[in-house]
Structure 1
Amino acid sequence: MQNYEFNPDKNEFIANYQKLKSGKNMSEYYGVSVRKIYSYAQKINYRNTLKKDISWKPQDKEEFIKLYNQLKSSTLMAEHYRVSKKTILKYAKSIGFRNEYRNSLTKEEVNYVLESYHLKKAITISKELGVSKSLITKTWRINNLSGKTCRRYYINEDYFFNIDTKDKAYFLGIIASDGCVYYQQNPNKLKMLSFQFNIKDREIIDSFLYYTEAEYKPIIKNKYISLQINSDKIVNDLEKYNIVQRKTWIYVPYFIDNQLMWHYLRGYFDGDGSIYLCGKVNPSNWIISICGNECTMHAFQNFLRTHGIESYVRLDNRKEKYKYDFYNLIIRKNSEKIKFIQMLYHDSENLRLNRKYLKCVEFLKLYNERHPN
């Protein structure tokens, strides 16, 4: 908005205000703040001028009634006639018109409304059935379907049907470590994929949305960002790779193509792995660790061994107590850490968490400084 003394022609201002109808529209038209619009209107006593205006009336009363019966919305009527919603309601009252909706649905209509919860907006369904939007949302709410009025967003639902690319393998690893699937408690029992990260790791979710061509919007709350995908097809495909409900303690890695397995492992590492310095600044004090259930850690240990990388598995000593124990896969030797990093990040551009990748680069730089050729 421009910041200057606002002093337009009075008659032109009044004519524009009567045409544009709102301070916001006037603000955009004149390129000044809404506050300046209101201040100038008060300065020229524009409110008193309005009281002398003849009340608004449409040119055709019958057309007004016919259109209102079609649109079923004072808001849409206001947009059509370019007047305020209050003006529409006032005129409707003056001619004795009542915009009435049915206050109930047939059994078949209720079933249709419930089936359409994840597919259509409430306003769309209300127009189809000739009822109010509030009746649609009320029907959803009493059937434990509450929240947004539209739940269906596009995503490539065949994405996980076959893990045949490095991006699919990477995100399978992400979901195996930090994701979960479950059946929602509603009449349709729709399945959902969900995962959550610290907001600083948003790049993972943005990358997932890109590769799956998804139109879903991430949910940001406090310091976390999460994504919830409603799709029976995706969840059913993930179950083929041992991604099931309450998988934390029962998950067993699904071994895919040997080359793609490293992309999968990098995804798991970005979810539940870490590289950190323990003690003085020395390459030997850097530790690579992956966390999970005991079966998963031993499976990863065996996989690394086939690639000449030695590691060991130990009980996790976290203070929080769970029903079952967590375990850590640890890599301590410098030579093993170097091989692991080289294999893990080979051909990984655009499919890695840069925060952890830079930590690995920091370790390699320190090692090369301490051990020049």
Structure 2
Amino acid sequence: MKRWTKEEELYLKDNYYILSPQEIANHLERTRKSVIFKAHEMGVSKDERWSEEEIQKLKENYSTHSFKELMEILPGRNRNAIQLKASKLGITERKNVFDFRFFKNIDTEEKAYWLGFFYADGFVLDSSNSYSRNYEAGIKLYKGDYKHLKKFNKSINGNLQVTFETRICSFNGKPQESCNIRCYSKEMVHDLESHGCVQNKTFIIEVPDIDANLMHHFIRGFFDGDGCICTDSSTKKTIAINFCSASLKMLEQMRTILYNAGICSYITDEKGRSTYRLYIRGVQNADRMWNYMFEDATIYLDRKLEKKNRLYEEYNLAQRLLRLSEMAG
């Protein structure tokens, strides 16, 4: 008899509550008898009755907690078992759930990154002083970046939906497609506000007071929202990195942080646009900036990393940087 693989064991565990032994056997190309024997060996049984305490916990928490949280509240119950039991009990409504206090303490890469991204492309609505008392935090992006919103949903351990909409652009009259994710939470709004990400933030944002060891993750998040890596000169085949913001103070603070990290930059006033731009130019300087932002990075906007890799390959930058390093050394 062939050995059971980890993948087969996981499939058995996840489906034993909702499929018959014969259906599992057919999928795994095994006998019904071997499936029942393996289930017994693993301690998986359809006769695992729910206690009254478990049922009560399920009723109290199903609509307000993620499945990951429910599996912690109900040890030994996997997602399929929880869904099946909820269905049998007639508990079908699941509200949008996520980690409301994700931004309470900025103490991880993910939190620093998404705070930076919110500074660039996020928004908060705080209507606490109005009759409606609406609290909303969200991100709106170009339609093609919808997978990035799914990354955010995963980071906050949520079950939120990414929605799409089409509007007519006021500048050129053409249809403009976008994707959105919205979190309705007083706690999340107030936590974002406590870190400087406030309503109508465009002209007044400043670099937040977070752990210096996490600052490069924050800046990477801000870059993925309001930054760009591009060709600096088609003749010299060099690259540049820049950030755009309506807050001059924000860019000045960033410039100081980068200077202390050995990265040179300068700021220009984009006349007539009410915005400023922070530039990092020079192939070695821009490469140093990229490496600073992406040190120990596990979360980023895929298309910007892909663009960087494409430019490096097109301009043979890895070899050029190596030669420059050898000449300097």
| TM-score computed with the length of structure 1 as normaliser | 0.55
Whether contact under 8 Å (1:283, 1:363) holds in the other structure is no
Structure 1 equivalent of residue 302 of structure 2: 354
Structure 1 equivalent of residue 182 of structure 2: 228
Pairwise mapping of residues 122-137 of structure 1 onto structure 2 (< 5 A)? Answer: none
Structure 2 equivalent of residue 296 of structure 1: 250
Distance 1:179 1:170, change over 3 A: same
Please state how far the C-alpha of 1:184 moved relative to its aligned partner: 4.7
Distance 1:259 1:280, change over 3 A: same
How high is the sequence identity, in percent, across the aligned residues?
26
Deviations 1:237-294 (A, max 9, x none): 111111111010011110311221111110000000001114426443x221101121
Whether contact under 8 Å (2:284, 2:321) holds in the other structure is no
Whether contact under 8 Å (2:240, 2:283) holds in the other structure is no
Structure 2 equivalent of residue 177 of structure 1: 120
Please state how far the C-alpha of 1:152 moved relative to its aligned partner: 4.5
Whether contact under 8 Å (2:270, 2:277) holds in the other structure is yes
1:339 aligns with 2:288: yes
Please state how far the C-alpha of 1:224 moved relative to its aligned partner: 0.7
Question: For the residues of structure 1 that align with 2:288 and 2:204, how far apart are their CA atoms?
Answer: 29
Whether contact under 8 Å (1:180, 1:194) holds in the other structure is yes
1:263 aligns with 2:206: no
Please state how far the C-alpha of 1:372 moved relative to its aligned partner: 5.1
Read off the aligned partner of 1:247 and give its amino acid letter. K
Whether contact under 8 Å (1:263, 1:348) holds in the other structure is yes
Structure 1: state its 5+ residue gaps. 1-117, 120-149
Farther-moved stretch of structure 1 (150-159 vs 249-258): 150-159
Distance 1:281 1:218, change over 3 A: farther
Read off the aligned partner of 1:363 and give its amino acid letter. L
Read off the aligned partner of 2:116 and give its amino acid letter. G
Whether contact under 8 Å (1:156, 1:214) holds in the other structure is yes
1:158 aligns with 2:111: no
Please state how far the C-alpha of 1:368 moved relative to its aligned partner: 2.4
Q: Bigger radius of gyration, 1 or 2?
A: 1
Question: For the residues of structure 2 that align with 1:267 and 1:274, how far apart are their CA atoms?
Answer: 12
| TM-score computed with the length of structure 2 as normaliser | 0.62
Report the 3-state secondary structure (helix = DSSP H, G, I; strand = E; otherwise coil) of the residue aligned with 1:161.
coil
Deviations 1:177-203 (A, max 9, x none): 111111359744121112101111122
Question: For the residues of structure 2 that align with 1:193 and 1:151, how far apart are their CA atoms?
Answer: 20
CA root-mean-square deviation: 2.3
1:249 aligns with 2:203: yes
Distance 1:371 1:273, change over 3 A: closer
Question: For the residues of structure 2 that align with 1:220 and 1:154, how far apart are their CA atoms?
Answer: 20
Distance 1:204 1:297, change over 3 A: same
Structure ranking higher on relative contact order (CA contacts 8 Å, 6+ apart): 2
Which of structure 1's runs of 4+ aligned residues deviate more than 6 A? none
Report the 3-state secondary structure (helix = DSSP H, G, I; strand = E; otherwise coil) of the residue aligned with 1:277.
strand
Whether contact under 8 Å (2:126, 2:189) holds in the other structure is no
1:368 aligns with 2:321: no
Please state how far the C-alpha of 1:359 moved relative to its aligned partner: 2.0
Deviations 1:180-235 (A, max 9, x none): 11135974412111210111112221011001011221110132101111100001
1:327 aligns with 2:281: no
Whether contact under 8 Å (1:255, 1:261) holds in the other structure is no
Whether contact under 8 Å (1:182, 1:193) holds in the other structure is yes
Tell me the matched-pair count: 219
Pairwise mapping of residues 1-373 of structure 1 onto structure 2 (< 5 A)? Answer: 152-184=95-127, 187-222=131-166, 223-280=177-234, 282-284=236-238, 286-292=239-245, 293-317=247-271, 321=273, 325-349=274-298, 351-365=299-313, 366=315, 367-370=317-320, 373=323
Please state how far the C-alpha of 1:162 moved relative to its aligned partner: 0.4
Read off the aligned partner of 2:318 and give its amino acid letter. N
Whether contact under 8 Å (2:124, 2:198) holds in the other structure is yes
Distance 1:310 1:161, change over 3 A: same
Question: For the residues of structure 1 that align with 2:308 and 2:209, how far apart are their CA atoms?
Answer: 25
